[in-house]
Structure 1
């Protein structure tokens, strides 16, 4: 992916755990994926200037006081979702991914939620929802597709997922969907899905 000369360092937390309620009602095709395996997500507020209305992982810029990318990801997750970082086991980091349009170099941090704690929207100016979604549902071909972003005569296509929270149905797309898609492929969890099926963009990005 393209990058810029002086990107700002950032980190996101890809936090997986055992869902404490409402596991998926469908078994995933991959034997290694259990119905109660879940991942933590949040819906960004539609009023934000950057990535409005998008489903994302907790995360943000790496501050000077952060020891490393995992420390930054855990701090941001606590600030955004209220989770207790002491219950998270950091499994490792993935190669940093450049985001040229926002001038960031983002380090994904993989975590296992060894001791889950309640999560919530901490700041409504930043997030509209915080929720855990079953991985088996993300892998369901019925919940997979692509989004198409058209701007200035150009077209950007990328993987996407349909996800559900107490606030409704969302399209998970863009950077977060790319990370999940690549991780599922790498782990051998991906089920065949229709790459021509187009999912709707959030209203804030259709304008």
Structure 2
């Protein structure tokens, strides 16, 4: 079994993440329900890298149709955030753990809107395997989004929520509208990894009503 080597930028991200945790944290993360997400990067078909994202089902009660990383709430049996992230990815997208190389955990991030404390887990897909929407009542789509597309200035803008004080980086790639927590983490990741290209942060667009209704 050929295992793909970890790219240099991802090694740098692992080394810098805790030293520059302010990129990811926005306050104390002592309170909140424990949860974790898997930031799974792999080799893309263009010779670069991609990241695995999911689109939540439109019928979900909370955050319907929103794009997220695989992940969710911690179970009592989970030993740590990595255990939570990998279990959730196995349940949601049928991910085989055999080809996944865990590189580390980022500082936990408090989400005041949902009351969760989320730990992003960085991983490299050294030996990719098939994935799919394993729980269709929760996941509508699984996508491998190329980093080249995420860094394309034409796909980046600032999302503004008209109903509350919110303005943050966002993306539109491959039919996916990526905003909120997921977009902020992706944006910080691209910056820390040295992959970000200049983009028009003054291009401010309102969050689509279909997301605001939820």
Q: 2:136 aligns with which of 124, 140, 146?
A: 124
Contact 1:2–1:100 (8 Å) recurs in 2:
no
User: What's the TM-score, normalizing by structure 2?
Assistant: 0.82
Gaps of 5+ in 2: 1-25
Partner of 2:7: none
Counterpart-to-counterpart distance in 2, 1:3 and 1:194: 30
Partner of 2:168: 158
Matches within 5 A, 1:109-188: 109-151=121-163, 154-164=164-174, 169-188=175-194
Gaps of 5+ in 1: 24-34
Measured against aligned partners, the alpha-carbon deviations of 1:23-45 in whole angstroms (never above 9, x if no partner) come to: 3xxxxxxxxxxx43110000011
Contact 1:90–1:109 (8 Å) recurs in 2:
yes
Judging changes above 3 Å, is the alpha-carbon distance between structure 1 residues 189 and 182 closer, same or farther for their aligned structure 2 residues? Answer: same
Judging changes above 3 Å, is the alpha-carbon distance between structure 1 residues 11 and 163 closer, same or farther for their aligned structure 2 residues? Answer: same
Judging changes above 3 Å, is the alpha-carbon distance between structure 1 residues 90 and 57 closer, same or farther for their aligned structure 2 residues? Answer: same
User: What's the TM-score, normalizing by structure 1?
Assistant: 0.85
Counterpart-to-counterpart distance in 2, 1:206 and 1:39: 26
Aligned pairs, how many?
Answer: 188
Moved over 6 A (4+): none
